[in-house]
A and B are shown apart, each in its own frame.
Chain A
Amino acid sequence: MVLASALLATLGLVSPVSAGASKGVELGASDTEGVTTSATPLRGTRGVSSYEGTGVPSDVTAYGAQRVPAGHRIEGYSSPTGDDFGTQSIIGADGRVRVDPTTSFPARATVLITRTVSGVERLHCTGWMFGASLVLTAGHCVFNQSTGWYTGQLRFYPGANGTTYPYGSCTAATLRSNTGWTVDGSPDADYGGASLNCSIGNTTGWYGAYWTTASLNGTSTTIQGYPGDKSQQQWIHSDQVRASNSLRLYYDNDTVGGNSGSSVHTVRADGSSGCSGRCSLAFHAYGVGSGTHNSGPRITESRFNLVIGWR
């Protein structure tokens, strides 16, 4: 798309500025500063910084979210001892640590996603706030090649913590993905999102994100989300990028079914180019056997511009 836009500009059919991808070509250290376009050539790193939000709201309904009483039952795996079990995506010893409480950032911007089928609501995936009303996740969490969109089936609980839901829940107004996933079914393009019927991101905050053409090998990676073996609790594990290509990142963070859609993020200092704070590098999507790595679609320039356009 960007190449096509550049060709349009070459043809003199559009101006150089509008030839860039949708918006957000060069964003400041804080996205609250607004989008600033730049006519300078794209190179290096571009992104948008994380925003820590305002904290726990006294009334989530002020943000359009629904209150969820403590003890609300989401069907899922229950472990009386909290012990984990061996799965293919725990690489070596299980290094996961519980996040408790979940009212600090970025735990509160990490979203438990449920899916309701035949009247039974169950843990489904993880997502991450990327704007006041936008959650990003894996493409397979919103669209299935065999059955289509999960329209009307998903509910979003930012910062869920076991049986408590400090930020309530929201539903989706629009489910989003890209044709690389919905048409081609490419694992490299397995990312999507949901525009919510609430603006809870104003209090939970949201993750940042950036793309770079430089190698990311060795960059620290953190995944926090809702693994299916932990009773709707949020768990975290850190590692680093072990391998990468232009469309995918590979890492050894310990994950389990339910972690799909988590942000694969790194922490960047204030003033870092493109993004500072909690900066997403990829959408976690896949686990594989020992001897290889877990993986997810990498945030590229065109993908960054695409998801910024969903805000």
Chain B
Amino acid sequence: MRRPLRMRAVLLIGMLVLGACGRESATSDQDPPPTLTNTQATVTGVVVDGSGRPVDGALVQPKSLDSPPLPVPELAVLSGPDGRYEWHLNAGRYEFTATKDDRTGPPSEVTAAAGATEQVELHLP
């Protein structure tokens, strides 16, 4: 049975609205780049040893201190030859630690705001 044209139009508009709400369309680096957001917080800094020298290859791990805890992406973020590391996270309170060769340094707490960059120096014994 053919539907009246008006009903088809209403259904088509509904479909377009629902389609716009779907928000999980495939995308790739071959497409025009999306507008990057400024909603994440950046935490960066240097991992240093007891002598203050930069540590290369330390695993830097954040832990959420919010309640309930925020999910933390399980990336491997390692310090570079200059000891520097960089994490991009949702805004919140975190505790960062650096670990290398079975040595884990003391945790450093930071409150990271959206769009802001916080500097946190991490120490290894």
Interface of A toward B, CB cutoff 8 Å: 1, 3-4, 7-8, 10-12, 75-81, 83, 85-89, 117-118, 120, 122-125, 138, 140-149, 151, 174-180, 182-187, 189-190, 226-229, 255-260, 284-289, 292, 294-295, 302-303, 306, 309-310
Contact = CB atoms under 8 A, between A and B. Distances in A.
Contacts of A76: 57, 59, 76, 78
Nearest to A175: B29
Nearest to B77: A257
Given A7-B12, A148-B34, A226-B76, 16 more contacts: A1-B24, A7-B11, A11-B3, A11-B8, A88-B69, A142-B29, A146-B40, A229-B59, A257-B59, A257-B74, A257-B77, A260-B75, A285-B71, A286-B73, A289-B63, A306-B24
Contacts of B2: 12
Nearest to B65: A289
A178 B76 contact: no
Contact of B29 (A8, A77, A125, A174): A174
A124 B69 CA distance: 23
Nearest to A190: B73
Contact of A179 (B23, B29, B69, B71): B23
A10 B11 CA distance: 9
A8 B81 contact: no
A101 B37 CA distance: 42
B51 interface: no
Interface string B83-108: 00000100000000001111010000
B72 A287 contact: yes
A145 B40 contact: yes
Interface in B24-39: 24-30, 33-34, 36-39
A308 B6 CA distance: 36
Contact of B24 (A83, A86, A302): A302
B95 to A, nearest CB: 9
Contacts of B11: 7, 10-11
Contacts of B26: 176, 178, 306, 309-310
Contact of A124 (B3, B18, B72, B75): B75
Contact of B102 (A83, A122, A123): A83
A178 B27 CA distance: 5
